[in-house]
Amino acid sequence: MTAPIIRQLAELRAKHSDWIRAGERVAVVPTMGALHAGHLSLVAAAKAACDRVIVTIFVNPKQFNNPEDLANYPRTEHDDAIKLAPHDVDVIYVPDPGQIYPGGFATNVSVAGVADQMEGACRPGHFDGVATVVAKLFLQTGAHQAFFGEKDYQQLLVVRRMARDLDIPIEVVGCPTVREASGLAMSSRNMRLSDEGTKKAGALHPILTALAARLSAGGVFADLKKQSEAEILAAGFEELEYLSLCSAEDLSAVELAQGPARLFVAAWIEGVRLIDNIAV
């Protein structure tokens, strides 16, 4: 059965009150829709951990620094509801824009530190948009736990920091990246690639994995980076925005993978910007 779609905060709050009165634990899975198996893995983790699951679908204009990207972002609400049906979620919250940004909205949630590099540097204002909407979704849903993908690892750390700093009583849970057979990280943006582009993009993950193996064997990032960058461009990517090795804890740049570290990449193919990251 498809879950009810709620568009008004007051209606969501009424459901939430019933659940809390019954002593139930509530999970939220924030998404921008165009759901794929990566999103559904978060839903499965949420179902396993909590009594009630709210999936939110909101294409948040405030986190798009590029108007074309916002205009091209897939919107597939009907299909999304069908994909969620077998997962037996309790509510799909698709807030009317005025429920998130009412007239006169003037507040900005801005996280420093983990939000400053990579996506934060390449997409000015992006993480302010993310932190602001996610803070609202945490407060609106009143969830005990929130499920986010490691696919957007920097976002996961930004959101966790925000919730801690603002004393929002929610646990932010990170879930592993779901990939295609080629290793390509599933993403709503992959829908915009041709078959050939999808095939070329499949080269990214093996290149990252090979670089991670060399780093784990004691390689120095500065010595290895150029070769991997050349491989990414040779695979058919038009532009590489960054290839970075960072501490998995605070995202500071590292040269040697001595503690927990991650490799991060952002690259363009067929005019589509893809990001990925893996543990080293």
The two tokens of residue 66 are 């590029």
Cα–chain-centroid distance for residue 60? Answer: 13
Nearest-Å Rg of the Cα atoms of the chain is: 19
Of 54 and 185, the one with the shorter C-beta distance to ligand AMP is 185
> Does residue 16 carry a catalytic annotation?
no
Of 126 and 151, the one with the shorter C-beta distance to ligand AMP is 151
E strands present in the chain: 5-6, 26-31, 52-57, 91-93, 145-149, 171-175, 239-247, 261-269, 272-279
The mark string for 40-59 relative to ligand AMP (x by CB under 6 A, - otherwise) is: -xx-----------------
Of 184 and 232, the one with the shorter C-beta distance to ligand AMP is 184
- Distance between CA atoms of 121 and 139, rounded to whole angstroms? 27
- Asked if 149 touches ligand AMP (CB under 6 A), the answer is yes
Contact segment (CB under 6 A) with ligand AMP among 15-23, 72-80, 119-127, 146-154 equals 146-154
- Distance between CA atoms of 161 and 144, rounded to whole angstroms? 16
Q: Which candidate, 110, 145, 156, places its Cα nearest to that of 131?
A: 110
Point out the catalytic residue in the list 39, 126, 144, 205: 39
For residue 49, CA distances in Å to 4, 90, 94, 137, 200 come to 21, 14, 23, 19, 37
Q: Considering only residues 3, 16, 27, 39, which one is a binding residue for ligand AMP as defined by CB under 6 A? A: 39
- Asked if 187 touches ligand AMP (CB under 6 A), the answer is yes
Q: How many residues in the shown chain lie near ligand AMP by CB under 6 A?
A: 17
- Asked if 186 touches ligand AMP (CB under 6 A), the answer is yes
- Distance between CA atoms of 56 and 31, rounded to whole angstroms? 6
Q: Considering only residues 80, 90, 128, 152, which one is a binding residue for ligand AMP as defined by CB under 6 A? A: 152
Judge contact between 135 and 168, C-beta under 8 A: yes
Contact segment (CB under 6 A) with ligand AMP among 5-13, 145-153, 165-173, 253-261 equals 145-153
Binding-site ranges for ligand AMP (CB under 6 A): 31-32, 38-39, 41-42, 148-149, 151-152, 175, 177-178, 185-188
By annotation, the residues acting in catalysis are 39
